[in-house]
Chain A
Amino acid sequence: MARLYAEEMVLNMGPQHPSTHGVLRLKLTTDGEIVSHIEPVIGYLHRSFEKHAENLEYQMVTPFTGRCDYLAAMGSEHGYAMAVEKMMGIELPERVEYLRVIFAELQRIASHLVAVGTFGLDVGAITPFIYCFRERELILDLFEMASGARLLYNYIWIGGLAHDVPPGFVEKTYEFLDNFEKRVAEYNQILSGNKIFIERAADIGVMTPEVAINYGVTGPSLRASGVNIDIRRTQPYSIYDRFEFDVPLGEGAQGTVGDSWDRYYVRVLEMQESAKIVRQALDQLPVEGDVQAAVPRRIRPPKGEIYFRSENPRGELGYYIVSDGKNVPVRVKMRSPAFSNLSVINEIGHGWMISDVIAILGSLDIVLGEIDR
């Protein structure tokens, strides 16, 4: 009698898939329904950002940084601008700093809305996704009013902003913030507390603090495991030390600390904290000031190198810039948080079922543009 071979099946969640947040290929080795090994294959969206940056002047690199993490473009431009400004020693006017914080935090809200919505979509709840995008449209309207573009801004320039915000921007932002709190309560009602959702997300893909730190995970995924590291608190850049906000940590409210529900819920709470920061910044915004005052005529940082880290909605976004005195950088390397976050997928994903792997991937909140650059 012939033997029955029950081998493991290698399943390919190919680059084109509704749930892999971009063109990501996952090779799943499954035994029935349980996944025993996950191998992510990336590079489908590589667009040679770092090579381009070697041939462009510093101010021309700014639009390209936005295109790497296209869901949080203000954050990417902000990090790059701050890195070059630190190299050149530029001192920014107050109004610029406050406006930059407002844009960065609004962008954080927008990015987390996408993360929350698409996580719901991955586990099957289609409606909260639409609600999240309705809020995001309001934020994108604000950005369009200020910079002229909805998704890729080229607004945060080295030394300031491209141009000042129009009149009416502050009122519209206040209006947005007033409605926003109610909406977050609504998301909690329809999704966070939903028993089916909790069943799908709690206790799934538990990431212990040791594993998180060993793999270099940063951002909300790290804070969901209980590790209290937020670059805005530990190494405050810009004027973040002037605002009062809490850093939400995962507490295992519905399961263990560091599961997918925690990673999701930390993002929901962070949206509320960002709303607080925006409100404080709007209250303290200086009315006068030229946003173009500190933009240098010619951007030629002195010879040297710098590594500057900032808190992207996904984690620690680092820019390593090497300059040799010319107006074109020698090397711009972007340390992308989603890349390190993705690397942990095998460690926390093996041993779960295919549906859980998709939920875990959704909770890590990756953007392939940033991973592949």
Chain B
Amino acid sequence: MSYFSNISSAITTLVDGMKVTMGYFVRPREHVTLQYPDEVWPVPSRNIGVGELDTYNTIRSKLTVDINDCIGCKACERACPVNCITIDTYRGEPDQDLGTTSKGTKIKLLTANFTIDMSECMFCDLCTPPCPEDCIVMTPDYQFISNDNQKMDVTPEERWRDRDLLIYQFSKVSEEERQRLKAEAKEAAQAKALATAAKKAEAEKAAAEKAAKEAAEAELQTQAPITNIEYAEEAPPVSSEPESEVVPFAFTEAVVPVLESTDNEETTRINIPIETLTKVEKQDEILEEPQTESAPHIPEAAQVSEDSVTSMEKQDEILEESQSEPTPEILEDSQDAEDSMTKESDNG
């Protein structure tokens, strides 16, 4: 008997299903196809009160920067999880007026190079909230098509370098100026590195001398008092030039990785590995040693390493000077935050 009920239920349910599809077949005007280049889906837009923009579209697509508003705080660079933003900032000349942003903040640093590698960007939108001037925004332009005919015989290096026009560069200065600043910074860094190397060698030498002197004194004191002491002659002079084996360029790499880049600078991405963030403290130590008079003369304009702008405390200072608003959360010191948190450990 279930045999027949199976057959009858099969027939009824199958016919039910067919009714549904036929219902859709006779109403083709209710289709959901969007015939793309001719019909475009409207992008939702709303005002979330970003600066002066009235309707700020919320589709997260290409990043863009209003470079005139950038104060060089590098908050977006630090917020990016995949390190696709690279920013080069330089101290302006002492009398150079770098302008103010649209919110009225005085700009203290010259953002010479703001590179966003869109091929690395994961469109997470973590870079836009920390910006104090709201100058980096995600635009709703979702079309990444380009009309350039790609050359067929590119090498892999060229392909990587050009990356389908996905590297966005913004800059406040022209290209030559940028190269000049960069060269000056490099020189200054090398000079500084030489100076530190020299200082270090001297310090070592002094320490060695001191140790030798102490050892000698200790030896002297352990011996019986001798009346007829012939004082040793002065220690043979140690050459004050740094030894030729010290290669300053090696130091340059380790100490100041931020300002270095390859020659093919204009389209290669500058890599800031995460480890350098921890090295910032070491850099502070190095840089906080007092300058000696024997330091070579560094031109004013290129003096960037005295208080390196990558040190966090320096950033705080700059920002606190330049605005009265509270600093972005990433730069603030941690003591306040820790005190305000309750300490609970849950095992869940």
Find out whether A and B make contact in their complex, taking CB atoms under 8 A apart as touching: yes
List residues of chain A with CB under 8 Å of any chain B CB.
55-56, 59-64, 83, 86-89, 127, 134, 137, 141, 144-149, 152, 154, 162-164, 166-168, 186, 189-191, 193-196, 296-298, 300, 302-309
Asked if B346 contacts A63 (CB within 8 A), the reply is: no
- Contact pick for B124, options A63, A86, A145, A168, CB 8 Å: A63
- Contact pick for B46, options A56, A166, A196, A300, CB 8 Å: A166
- Taking the closest CB of chain B, its distance from the CB of A130, in whole angstroms, is 9
Q: Which chain A residues border B347 with CB–CB below 8 Å?
A: 305-307
- Taking the closest CB of chain B, its distance from the CB of A303, in whole angstroms, is 7
Asked if A193 contacts B16 (CB within 8 A), the reply is: yes
For the complex, is B240 an interface residue (Cβ under 8 Å from A)? Answer: no
- Can you add 4 more A-B contacts, CB < 8 Å, to A55-B274, A186-B20, A194-B14? A144-B59, A149-B59, A154-B124, A166-B58
Q: Which residue of A lies closest to B16 (CB)?
A: A189
Q: Which chain B residues border A83 with CB–CB below 8 Å?
A: 348
- Contact pick for B126, options A60, A145, A147, CB 8 Å: A60
Chain B window 311-339, contacts with chain A (Cβ cutoff 8 Å), 1 for yes, 0 for no:
00000000000000000011010100110
Q: Which residue of B lies closest to A325 (CB)?
A: B338
Asked if B10 contacts A195 (CB within 8 A), the reply is: yes
Question: When A55-B274, A189-B16, A189-B17 are in contact, do A300 and B346 touch as well, CB less than 8 Å?
Answer: no
The contact sample of 11 A-B pairs, CB cut-off 8 A, is: A60-B79, A63-B122, A63-B126, A86-B348, A144-B59, A149-B123, A152-B124, A166-B44, A190-B16, A193-B17, A300-B334
- Taking the closest CB of chain A, its distance from the CB of B46, in whole angstroms, is 4
Q: Which residue of B lies closest to A188 (CB)?
A: B16
For the complex, is B35 an interface residue (Cβ under 8 Å from A)? Answer: no
Q: Within the assembled complex, what's the spacing in Å between the Cα atoms of A78 and B13?
A: 41
Question: When A60-B126, A63-B126 are in contact, do A300 and B338 touch as well, CB less than 8 Å?
Answer: yes
Q: Give residues 13-59 of B contacting A (CB, 8 Å).
A: 13-14, 16-17, 19-21, 32, 44, 46, 48, 58-59
Asked if A297 contacts B329 (CB within 8 A), the reply is: yes
Q: Within the assembled complex, what's the spacing in Å between the Cα atoms of A303 and B345?
A: 7
Q: Which chain B residues border A127 with CB–CB below 8 Å?
A: 21
Asked if B32 contacts A298 (CB within 8 A), the reply is: no
Asked if B44 contacts A298 (CB within 8 A), the reply is: no
- Contact pick for B337, options A194, A300, A304, CB 8 Å: A300
Q: Which residue of A lies closest to B21 (CB)?
A: A127
Asked if B32 contacts A134 (CB within 8 A), the reply is: yes
Question: When A89-B342, A149-B60, A166-B44 are in contact, do A306 and B348 touch as well, CB less than 8 Å?
Answer: yes
- Taking the closest CB of chain A, its distance from the CB of B106, in whole angstroms, is 24
Q: Within the assembled complex, what's the spacing in Å between the Cα atoms of A127 and B18?
A: 11
Question: When A144-B59, A195-B13 are in contact, do A297 and B348 touch as well, CB less than 8 Å?
Answer: no
- Taking the closest CB of chain B, its distance from the CB of A199, in whole angstroms, is 9
- Taking the closest CB of chain A, its distance from the CB of B226, in whole angstroms, is 61
- Taking the closest CB of chain A, its distance from the CB of B62, in whole angstroms, is 13
Asked if B345 contacts A147 (CB within 8 A), the reply is: no
For the complex, is B238 an interface residue (Cβ under 8 Å from A)? Answer: no
Q: Which chain B residues border A149 with CB–CB below 8 Å?
A: 59-60, 123
For the complex, is B9 an interface residue (Cβ under 8 Å from A)? Answer: yes
Q: Which chain A residues border B348 with CB–CB below 8 Å?
A: 83, 86, 306-309
For the complex, is B138 an interface residue (Cβ under 8 Å from A)? Answer: yes
Q: Which chain A residues border B257 with CB–CB below 8 Å?
A: none
Asked if A302 contacts B341 (CB within 8 A), the reply is: yes
Asked if B20 contacts A190 (CB within 8 A), the reply is: yes
Asked if B81 contacts A148 (CB within 8 A), the reply is: no
Q: Give residues 290-320 of B contacting A (CB, 8 Å).
A: none
Q: Within the assembled complex, what's the spacing in Å between the Cα atoms of A60 and B330?
A: 12
- Contact pick for A300, options B124, B126, B274, B341, CB 8 Å: B341
Q: Which chain B residues border A148 with CB–CB below 8 Å?
A: 58-60, 125, 138
